[in-house]
A and B are shown apart, each in its own frame.
Chain A
């Protein structure tokens, strides 16, 4: 089951200049594992706090909730609020 992962431009240098990846993952937690394994340059970004938007909805990096097939996932910098 593959999901579509979109990265922000400055991450491309760690993903062979791809800003869109198709990755086999059933949960965000699993996705993070794959990203860190295949693209180790992403690890510091993920470690420093990152948000995942799954079909328009923010999710936790360690979430075990199942991902819908073909989900559109955006990696986003962690947000602040006032």
Chain B
């Protein structure tokens, strides 16, 4: 199938078949991280720092080692030194060295014959700490006299005179912003703040690992990317990568948080120290919240100018993002997303990546984009309100389109923001009339999407069915979408395709299921690999017909003569070719390895209707609409699912999710009881429109769909609350207390 055929009707793509792993997942048979055991297996527990910042003076584990059932104890001393800086940071976060940098930082780990024995041993380990000053808030951490989180943490990009907690600095832009502001009829500015949010996957991290003294090991783990796990474990433990076989379990949600290591090297080290016995580590929910994820917290200054007829003339942002004790907040991504939806003559961006005594920030769905959207889309809404302009019309006037230069530089190819805005405007939700204390908010969001390193293989079974092997774990239905694209490529029924997710030894390197890439990248690679086998099948048929291979073409599951000149042959089905393959040259299989490009940018627009209780500040979401360009929806149900899931995560972030720290720098809400992700009764149905402006660089027009949906809810809800209360909240979460205070005082103090 040629790329110019992507506008054609498809037979399988765009249908909604049952997912191949559905049966396993509704019967409890699917095996997740904690669901396997092995003979002789030990259970491990991890000792974690009770302090936000402390020097570890001494760890005495002798008493613990003598307890019944204890087989191995590891501390930092059990891990090799001499790492490059990135590996050292990974190792430091896996297990503390001289310093504990945050509440929950791993200090030691124990493997024992039962969970209870391991936990008892943890309690028996004596650690002498020297408590050090800590800093939690991003605006506090950037002050010159702030407690220093880690000495010499700033990299080469940091200008002189910055706080020692600045890890990196970035600045970019184009055009003359002051000239742009001069041309505006209204210029507004403001400071916006967002709290850290956790990815909140329901499955805690879990793995079972085994490592022998000869350096050979294996691991079963819930992860978005097992090659990443292999690479990182090998690096921090000094192993040879290829000797470590990592098999991904089914994964109970990740959202970016399962793209790195936490407990995995500990399990391997414990296994090695216990003589190669398998070791299982399952995190508790409290450990997940204290020591994994979350995303960054942000403090953002924004200034935007607009003409009275709604054209954006200029914009500048300074984002300060706290990404935990090792840096790595998504500040540059946030900056790239800030004005990406708009064609503006002048933009300027400054970003600081800042350290604080918090867990190391992990990627979370469109990292950085939700914060940027909150700041920029809120301020645009304020300007629209002041100028009495329709928020969708303003966005239509400024929306980027094919050929425009993005706010961060490169030109856009075919994109669908305008189509998305138009579909939003036409939806009935935009005209439902509202009552007292109710308000409507509109906001756009952007994610650039990602292709990345990808390896796949396909093979033909003797009955004409097809096995596809990919390296991207299925988090939300990607087996189904990959099977659909495979079926479409061959022209065989969806049910004749099986998609397998392979361990690290079975394929070349694969990046994780992240960056909205699984369907896009594995799909593109599978298309290429499948076409290799189609070419091979055509060659074999050509040999049989004794004609030139170019005179055979493939259509709907059959090899056919290319035209009357090729000869008069009856088409041969894939089934027949498969049944004869042992006699025609042996197995037929294809593979494809590439760094996938042509990702196709993704834009979304959301409308939120809310009601605010003016006496308690409680916000109820009445109606919610997600409109997003999917390029091509391979399995529309799972595309809708991504839209809805992203939106609800954004709603949670906007309204009630936050990390609550005590004055001691310890996390106070390390449980789902008080880390309040949305529950079913908090929400209305989430309406969706899938816009399809095909990505010209993908064989089926796919754009990634997973991430964009989490960005617009933050500003959409803030804009809706502002419309309902006539008060603008510039900090998240918009918890009842904050909303009530804003109603009473006219501001949330940000």
Contacts and interface: CB of A to CB of B under 8 A. Distances in A.
* Direct interface between A and B, CB < 8 A: yes
B255 interface: yes
Contacts of A45: 156-157
B411 A55 contact: yes
A82 B412 contact: no
Given A10-B157, A53-B410, A74-B410, A79 B172 contact: no
B171 A10 contact: yes
Given A53-B410, A76-B409, A10 B172 contact: yes
B169 A10 contact: yes
B514 A81 contact: yes
A16 interface: no
B515 A79 contact: yes
Interface stretch (B38-46, B142-150, B363-371): B363-371
Interface in B73-109: none
Which DSSP category, helix, strand, loop or mixed, fits chain A's interface?
mixed
A64 interface: no
Contact of A81 (B172, B367, B409, B697): B367
A10 B156 CA distance: 11
A51 to B, nearest CB: 10
Contacts of A22: none
Interface in A39-82: 44-45, 48, 53, 55-60, 72, 74, 76-77, 79-82
A48 B413 CA distance: 28
Nearest to A81: B515
A81 B170 contact: no
B170 A60 contact: no
Interface in B402-427: 408-413
B170 A82 contact: no
A72 B411 contact: yes
A82 B156 contact: no
Interface string B251-265: 000011101000000
B332 interface: yes
A66 to B, nearest CB: 15
Contacts of A81: 256, 363, 366-367, 449-450, 452, 514-517, 707
A57 B695 CA distance: 13
Contacts of A53: 409-410
B330 interface: yes
A80 B171 contact: no
29 contacts: A9-B172, A10-B169, A10-B170, A10-B171, A44-B155, A45-B157, A53-B410, A56-B412, A57-B597, A57-B598, A57-B697, A58-B599, A60-B595, A72-B411, A76-B408, A76-B409, A76-B410, A79-B332, A80-B367, A80-B514, A80-B515, A81-B449, A81-B450, A81-B514, A82-B256, A82-B363, A82-B365, A82-B366, A82-B515
